[in-house]
Amino acid sequence: MHRVRHTWAVARIALGWVFLWAFLDKTFGWGFATPAGKAWISGGSPTTGFLKGTGENALGGFFAGLAGQGWVDWLFMLGLLGVGTALILGAGIRVAAVAGTAMLILMWAAELPLTTNPFMDDHLIYSIVLIGLARADAGDTWGIGTWWSRTPLVRAYPVLK
């Protein structure tokens, strides 16, 4: 049983890093996926590159229309930061799973039709992992999930676990 819990904990921290790293690189433009000149703090839009590239896809008109809008940028970046932080800390995993899955499903939909598989890609796999993390209480191992679940706030609102 410990090996399973440790595996979920490693998956939680690793996936948390994927989200948090995307936030950091898009914010500061460290040159991995985002060049310095397109960093959010330099006035770049964290959603423009991806969403503008969806124009020819099935739902591309809808998603391309969202590209670069301030409210979309803020929601996206807060989502990346919130999901990444929650997963790494091991608190708020249920909320992170819902928010992260929503973000990933929207990104998946923006890419339809997929070019390498009829329907399955990493966005759906990450969504499945997020749901598994929430169902496995993965924040309790190598995280603050156990402490978090005992707080009065989470006892009053268990969805925040």
Name every residue whose Cβ is closer than 8 Å to that of residue 145 and which is 6 or more positions away in sequence: 90, 91, 93, 137, 138, 139, 161
For residue 139, give both structure tokens: 């924040």
Name every residue whose Cβ is closer than 8 Å to that of residue 103 and which is 6 or more positions away in sequence: 76, 79, 80, 83
Residues 84-127 have pLDDT tens digits of 999 999 999 999 999 999 999 999 999 999 989 999 999 999 99
Q: What is the mean pLDDT of residues 43-65?
A: 89
For residue 159, give both structure tokens: 């969805």
Among 108, 101, 158, smallest CA distance to 131 is for 101
